Amino acid sequence: MRRFALALLPLPLVVAAFVSASAPVALSGCLACTADYRVGLSITVVEAGTRRPIKSATVTVRDGDYREVVEPNTGVGSDNVYSAAGEREGTYDIDIVAEGYVTAHLENVEVDADECHVETRNLEVVLTPE
Q: Where are the domains positioned within the chain?
A: 2-32, 39-127
Q: Are strands 39-47 and 121-127 parallel, antiparallel or unpaired?
A: parallel
115/16 Cα distance (integer angstroms): 20
Q: pLDDT by residue (tens digit) across 19-33?
A: 434 455 454 556 678
Q: pLDDT by residue (tens digit) across 78-129?
A: 667 899 999 999 999 999 999 999 999 999 999 999 999 999 999 999 999 9
Give the pLDDT confidence score for residue 56 in this predicted structure. 86
Does the pLDDT value for residue 10 go beyond 60? no
Give the pLDDT confidence score for residue 1 in this predicted structure. 46
Supply the DSSP string of 56-107, one letter for each residue: T-EEEEEETTEEEEEPPB-STT-TTEEEEEET--EEEEEEEE-TTB--EEEE
Q: Which fold has domain 39-127?
A: Immunoglobulin-like (2.60.40)
- Asked whether 125 and 46 are in contact (CB, 8 A), the reply is yes
